[in-house]
Amino acid sequence: MREDAPEGYECPIYVIQEHDATKLHWDLRLEHDDVLKSWAVTKVPPTEPGVRRLAIEVEDHPLEYATFEGEIPEGNYGAGSVRIWDNGTYREDEWTDDKIVVHIFGRKLKGKYVLIRLKKSESNKNWLFFKGREK
């Protein structure tokens, strides 16, 4: 447990992996319901309020993937190099089908972060990812 998390609260895993595949992107992963919910963020994740990034929802990953760094061989899905860009834990403040608000306790990302689905539909996987303003 992180010292800045509420007492008695076991914080779930948070990780961002820099993934140099067909196109360089950053994989945001949040532990939720025993899997890593995952989004491909198209540009460097925001560290300041006011910077918004497109985050494309991708398939869930097993929890073990949170520590993966290395090469995904050619011919495999996601082929390319993967390295951990940031990691830590997070506190869930809100989690609905269209909006996720978390407080991240990472090395690079710290504080309130928000994911908002851009268009409500079954097939829409596009979200906005940004650092929220602290109260």
For residue 26, the enclosing domain spans 13-131
Measured distance CA(64)–CA(6) in Å, rounded: 25
- Given pLDDT bands bounded at 50, 70 and 90, which one contains residue 120? low
Q: Mean pLDDT score of the chain, rounded to an integer? A: 89
Span 99-110, pLDDT tens digits: 999 999 999 999
pLDDT at 21: 87
pLDDT at 6: 55
pLDDT at 78: 77
Number of domains in the chain: 1
Span 20-74, pLDDT tens digits: 988 899 999 999 999 999 999 999 999 999 899 999 999 999 999 999 998 887 8
What does pTM read for this prediction?
0.88
Burial of 84 (0-12, 13-18, 19+ CB in 10 A): middle
Residue 92 lies in a domain: yes
